Structure 1
Amino acid sequence: MTRDGGTAHRDGMNDPLSTTGLLAQVLPAQALTAEVYADPPRVVLFPDEEAVIARAVDKRRREFATVRHCARAALERLGVTPGPILPGERGAPRWPAGVVGSMTHCAGFRGCAVAHATHLRTIGLDAEPAEPLPDGVLDAIALPEERSGLRRLGPGVPWDRLLFSAKESVYKAWFPLTHRFLEFDQARIELDPAGGFTATLLVAPPSTVIGPLTGFTGRWIHRDGLLITAIAVPAQI
């Protein structure tokens, strides 16, 4: 975890990179996606990217390189010539001018979604293994009313991990709009078992170019041992 049922989504499993997988199922058509389920043996990075991970351990190198492999594929689908994708403020990726996007990775999944800023204002993505959170994590990230809400949900989904994932997606959608940190207890999540969620921001609404920001809506999917959450805010709302 980081702060930075079925197999239908793996239509492209013979192709190591898929553009019609999980992410495409939880995002609008304006967001172009790419994802992989294993690290390709060789991913070429730009020199500036290599410098970022020069001293990183192998696991970090593979995550960093593969998710950028996905990002470049998604940018090419968008008609944007890919260049270095470097970490910016608080580690958020610096996208080309006129592009919004989000990247995510966990064990068994790396993915990215991008869009023209004229179509979407911001994107937030998170991928997690479909397993319960480690002991003690739920108490650290969930509000009392959120924990109560989880107890009312049915079996079959690790709801605590899904709640965590939704909060991660909220943060990734929030930060590019505000350039402010958001604590776990500053957003209240309501999970819809049908595949959606709402986030109410528990901070004074910051002013943005789209007006006061009070919350987000998102979608989620649970497939093949993975949980994916996603938020996409239209440019015109």
Structure 2
Amino acid sequence: MEGVRAALRQMLGPHAGIGVTDPAQDTALWDEEAAAVARAIPKRRTEFAAGRCAARAAMAEIGFAPTAILQGRDRAPIWPAGLAGSIAHCDTCCVSIVALQEHYAALGVDVEPATPLADDLIAVICTPAERAWLAGETDPGLAAKMIFSAKEAVYKAQYPLTGKVIGFDAVTLEMIDCAYRVAGNPTLANMKGAILIEDGLILSVAYV
């Protein structure tokens, strides 16, 4: 978990709070949060609780008092006023990043197993320009999975700003080493991101 935390810190710098939890551990929800997953299956409740625990740990890192993180009708977290944040999880890791909006207007994070994307999904996830870039990669399946993860982070970061549901074809990512730039969508021209592989996981962040 410390490797994941260090990778996220490398990508985001000193102004972000970072929380990392194990979704396999039993974590208690605050009463106000429990209603959101009262009818959910146990796995969903466990993931939800791990995400809220990670969010409060991230908030504590930047001196923000712990509070319940409720869920909107769109299932997106409702962050306290003045705070930008995001939560993501896979089977083995849950992460949250938060920051005061004076430092980041919006944040998105994603975590995925560092395994290749299925061949039949590459054309769904990746634009023609991205597929041309993949052709030059030594492991195009893994590189495509990284694009998928980065686009998940971009979606989470853009949603609080635009209120729009966008598809994978709405943006083209220009990958440069461990960073990427969002292209092909003038609304998101100022959005940037970073991506790393750590402890067998793809970690992606997007920010404005």
What's the TM-score, normalizing by structure 1? 0.81
2:191 to 192, 199, 216: 216
> Partner amino acid for 1:63?
E
Is the contact made by 1:157 and 1:222 (CA closer than 8 Å) also made in structure 2?
Answer: no
Q: Give CA deviations for 1:93-143 in whole Å, capped at 9, x if unaligned.
A: 110111111111012110001111112111111111001123422221211
Amino acid of the residue matched to residue 231 of structure 1?
A: A
Contact 1:199–1:216 at 8 Å: present in 2 too? yes
What is the distance in 1 between the residues matched to 2:138 and 2:119? Answer: 20
- Secondary structure in 2 matching 1:120: coil
Residue in structure 1 matched with residue 7 of structure 2 by the alignment: 22
Check the 8 A contact 2:117/2:141 in 1, yes or no.
no
Q: Is the 8 A contact 1:187 1:201 kept in 2?
A: yes
2:27 is the alignment partner of 1:10: no
User: Contact (CA 8 Å) 1:21, 1:35: kept in 2 or not?
Assistant: no
Alpha-carbon offset, residue 22 of structure 1: 2.7
Q: Report the Cα distance in structure 2 between the residues aligned to 1:50 and 1:214, rounded to whole angstroms.
A: 37
Match of 1:141 among 111, 120, 125: 125
Residue 198 of structure 1, aligned match among 181, 184, 190: 181
> Identity over aligned residues, as a percent?
36
Measured in 2, the distance between the counterparts of 1:136 and 1:90 equals: 29
**Matches of residues 1-237 of structure 1 in structure 2 within 5 Å?**
10=2, 20-41=5-26, 43-88=27-72, 90-155=74-139, 158-192=142-176, 194-202=177-185, 205-206=186-187, 213-233=188-208
Deviations 1:152-202 (A, max 9, x none): 12349810100101111111111111111211101001222x211111143
Distance 2:168 2:144 in 1: 13
Structure 2 letter corresponding to 1:222: I
The alpha-carbon deviation at position 217 of structure 1 amounts to: 1.7
**Superposition misfits of 4+ residues, deviation over 6 angstroms:** none
Q: For residues 152 and 44 of structure 1, what CA distance do their matches in structure 2 show?
A: 46
Instruction: List runs of 5+ in structure 2 lacking aligned partners.
Output: none
- Secondary structure of 1:121's match? coil
Distance of 2:59 and 2:190 partners within structure 1: 28
TM-score when normalising by structure 2: 0.91
In 1, are the aligned partners of 2:18 and 2:97 still within 8 Å (CA)?
A: yes
Change (3 A) 1:77 1:91: same
Structure 1, unpaired ranges of 5+:
1-8, 12-17, 207-212
Q: Work out the number of aligned pairs and report it.
A: 208
Deviation at 1:49, TM superposition (A): 1.3
Partner of 1:3: none
- One-letter amino acid of the structure 1 residue matched with residue 41 of structure 2: V
CA distance in 1, matches of 2:78, 2:8: 20
